[in-house]
Chains A and B, each alone.
Chain A
Amino acid sequence: MSIPPAILYEHARGDSSLWRLSGGDDLADAWWQGDDLRVLADRWPELSRAHRASLKQLAIIARSTAFLFDVFPRSDVGGSTKRSTLAFRLEADLPHSAEELMCDFQFGSTSNSGSNVSAVASPQASWSSLLEQIELSDCRLELVAPKSLVLLQAVTEEHVGFRNNSLILLHVDGQFEIVGLKGGQVILWRLPSETANAARDWQVLQEEFSAAHPVVVWASREPISHAIVGEIVGPAEIPVVTVDEVERNRQFVSRILGGKSAAWFDLARDAKCSGSSSPWRQSQSLNRGLLLIAGCLLVAALACYWRAERVRGAVAQLKAQQTTLVRSALPEQKITSAVMARLKSEHAKLTGSRTTNKNIELPITILPVMRQVISGLPTDLPISVHELRLNGREIYLDVELGLIQDAAQLAQSLQASGLNVSPPSTSAVKNGKIRAQFHGTRNESVGRGAGSQP
């Protein structure tokens, strides 16, 4: 069993609107008063949950005042039928950018090189909240169209002759509209604000479209007023068609949604063509996504900047500590830059000048060994020194002694003063004396104990 489509229908209630949702058996008529569709959008989730079964397909039939009409030569767009191109062409005539509009187009016969493109558009802003909610629910938007044009299409299906070349004065929602049809294309759609304006427009348009057949379609609830009609169209005899606007539209919407007829203008066409998500929705999703990513990136950038600034502060602190440390270590030097280089240079100088390098043999002072030799020479022994050589730790002593035992005593005395003395070589000299040579080195342990330099 097929579920009848739900229709969201806009009725005029004075200067305001009354929206009525009707559909399947379980969908009780629901009414909302007001022009702001956001009120309806706010209630839509609750409504869609309550009537999930009935709200599978939805057609929105709105008052003509919600729409804009434009017609332009097809040559303006180079004969293109690309909808984006056509939408951008609308910017020349309508006070909105292409992105702000929901629109649909109707083309004249392609055989006619001078054919026009008719366009019906409506600003997305007024619809977006409701359409988003509809999309978020499990409901498929099938049709968004102006009620007067849907009604006229329904009428022309019965009165086929009206399609060819006619100028129609339509009375709906208590107001007159003027619609021109040519070859089944809407080439004119005007909404005069007052009856006087309608009369003037009608006169002008009838002169302009002199070949068109005038027709009056009365679709308002109140009975037709021939006086008012006559005031506009004049005394001429004009065919008049009277229809029940709501019922006729309901029937015709069913035909459209049933695939038996195609609406002249359907502002939801793009949504249906592009799949599950409408282009404004996709565009909004895309924009939101881009904005979200850009926001995340900016937040991340801000975090990086903040972190970098903190680390930079920490680096400055470390460098200040370093400078303070170096200044305290090198108080005699004026340090302004290249702190580490200065410190390393100073360290290298001190290391080089105050440490012993194992690769080189440092010059050794003779002072310790000289002291030991002086203290090691016995005072009670007659010694005649021929030569004394000191070289670092080494000692060479050449002496003349009275007795050979004196050489041993001298060696013993030198040993006692901390020198390692090898046994002396002795020889007798001609005057009966003894010549003795001593070789020795400084005893390291004694030297260290004495606190001497190495």
Chain B
Amino acid sequence: MSSSQIWNRQSLLFAGLLAVSAIVLLTTANEWLKVNREFVSASQDLGQCQQLVREIAGLRHRPRVASLESESPQQTIGRVIEAQGQCQIAPQSLVAVSPTAPTRLGNTEYQVRTTELVLQQVALDQLHRFASALGRNDDGQVVRELSLTPEPARNAIASNGLELWNTRLILTQLIYSPTSK
């Protein structure tokens, strides 16, 4: 009997079974490797996730240095008027509110937006409270510059006896605005 007879139909059947088994093994082994890669990735993600969550918790306790959105001119005016009211500054003392468009700080992910405020006949104490009230919301807005000159009518004194001043303030808002966004 020749060797070809050794490969009878039963052998061919078993060889077929072997081939199918090999394919099944390759498929399951490939699946296993894929799932293993997923496991490694998920483990790393969880580790990263835990670290990010810890960092987020820490970051939330820090003061805001930049806002996430640019404040609209209407909002800025509203903020100024509100602060003015809180500090009992007369409406006619607010001479000018001049917001500018945001500009990017070099190649950074930040933009800056300034608003110039001009006030007349304001007491120093009122001015300090006004500047505090403008930056009170923890939204990245601060009064960065202040220029103070005496009221031209020399020795202008308020009814409560305080000196009155003319002033120019620069309210600055720092905006976090990644360029990839």
Chain A residues within 8 Å of B, Cβ to Cβ = 82-84, 87, 97-99, 270-271, 273-274, 279, 282-283, 286-287, 290-291, 293-295, 297-298, 300-302, 304-305, 307-308, 311-312, 314-315, 318-319, 321-322, 325-326, 328-330, 339-340, 343-344, 346-357, 359-360, 362-367, 370-371, 374, 384-392, 453
Contacts and interface: CB of A to CB of B under 8 A. Distances in A.
Given A322-B45, A370-B128, A287 B1 contact: no
Contact of A356 (B22, B39, B65): B65
Contacts, number: 234
Contacts of A314: 39
B146 A273 contact: no
A347 B52 CA distance: 7
A354 B21 contact: no
Contact of B65 (A99, A348, A362, A387): A362
B14 A290 contact: yes
B11 A283 contact: yes
Give chain B's interface residue range (CB within 8 Å of chain A). 35 or more
A307 B53 CA distance: 31
B112 to A, nearest CB: 7
Nearest to A295: B21
Given A287-B11, A290-B15, 11 more contacts: A82-B2, A304-B25, A340-B45, A347-B59, A353-B140, A354-B60, A366-B143, A366-B146, A374-B125, A389-B148, A390-B145
B24 to A, nearest CB: 5
A373 to B, nearest CB: 9
A84 B11 CA distance: 15
Interface in B42-70: 42-43, 45-46, 48-50, 52-53, 55-57, 59-60, 62-68
A321 B46 contact: yes
Given A97-B9, A340-B45, A367-B131, A360 B1 contact: no
Contacts of A362: 65, 174
Binding site secondary structure of chain B: helix
Interface of B: 1-11, 14-15, 17-18, 20-22, 24-25, 27-29, 31-32, 35-36, 38-39, 42-43, 45-46, 48-50, 52-53, 55-57, 59-60, 62-68, 105-106, 108-110, 112, 124-125, 127-128, 131-132, 135, 140, 142-150, 172, 174, 176, 178
7 contacts: A304-B32, A311-B36, A347-B52, A350-B59, A362-B174, A374-B124, A374-B128
B147 A389 contact: yes
Contacts of A363: 112, 142, 144, 172, 174
B9 A99 contact: yes
Contact of A99 (B8, B15, B59, B66): B8
A343 B49 contact: yes
Contact of B46 (A273, A318, A385): A318
A354 B150 CA distance: 37
Nearest to B163: A385
Given A318-B46, A350-B59, A344 B52 contact: yes
Contacts of A366: 131, 142-146
Given A367-B128, A389-B146, A290 B11 contact: yes
A255 B104 CA distance: 112
B144 A391 contact: yes
Contacts of B15: 290
A145 to B, nearest CB: 17
